[in-house]
Copies of this chain bind each other. A is one copy, B any other.
Amino acid sequence: MELLKQRILQDGKCYPGGILKVDSFINHQMDPNLMMELAREMVRIFGRRPINKIVTIEASGIAPAILTGYLMQLPVVFIKKKQPKTMDRMLSAVVHSFTKDRDYTVCISADFLTPADRVLFIDDFLANGNAAKGVIDLCAQAGAKIEAMAFLIEKAFQHGGDYLRSAGVDYTALATVTSLDDCKIELE
């Protein structure tokens, strides 16, 4: 998606170790007009698919997910990274974060992820695919079908995409970063 690519090249910042910072427009400060355009692109791609629920994971996926949910008139559920005190019928999965170098448990209520659900999962980044693995695990536990996954940005030099292809998960990224070598952003 050209708008997102241009914005990444304009405002994205590259740090040693393959880190791409988009925190001035996507995952700390958010540009709501950009977010709405990203949601409209989601509708163009997925609007005719048999999806009945948007699922995301806190926190950076929530903004594009709620806007897409609004446009597609679908409920949006966000997977939590902390177990609330009062969640009944909780499904959980362990996820490893490379960025933060720790394991954490993600959870969702079985009340909101069921065998009737055909899910579009939305998140900001696909990197090593660990959050996506957790989502696949939760959906398997719930008996829900993942219709597709959509990411704002894929880091193609990491291995999340390989994993999703090998797992037979249909996924799309609105922008694909092919290299951050020498702190230079290269896009597909």
Q: List 12 A-B contacts (CB under 8 A).
A: A19-B86, A24-B111, A28-B80, A28-B84, A29-B76, A30-B66, A30-B78, A32-B66, A33-B73, A35-B70, A59-B78, A62-B63
Contact (A100, B112) CB under 8 Å given A29-B76, A63-B62:
no
Interface 1/0 per residue, A95-129 and B, CB below 8 Å? 00001100000001101100000000000000000
Q: Least Cβ distance of A124 to chain B in Å?
A: 12
Contact B78 A28 (CB under 8 A): yes
A84 to B99, CA, bound (A): 9
B70 touches A85 (CB 8 A): no
Kindly state whether residue A69 has any CB partner on chain B within 8 Å: yes
Assembly CA distance A141 to B36 (angstroms): 31
A153 beta carbon closer than 8 Å to chain B: no
Q: Does A41 contact B (CB under 8 A)?
A: no
Chain A 1-58 interface residues, beta-carbon cutoff 8 Å to B: 15, 19, 21, 23-24, 28-33, 35-36, 58
Kindly state the separation between the CA atoms of A127 and B176 in the bound complex, as whole angstroms.
42
The answer to the question of A67 belonging to the interface, with a C-beta cut-off of 8 Å to chain B, is yes
Q: Which residue of B lies closest to A72 (CB)?
A: B32
- Asked if A32 meets B63 with Cβ closer than 8 Å, knowing A15-B86, A85-B99, A100-B85, the reply is no
| Bound-complex Cα distance A2 to B96 (A) | 43
**Contact indicator B86/A21 (Cβ below 8 Å):** yes
Interface centre among A24, A70, A85 (most CB of B within 10 A): A70
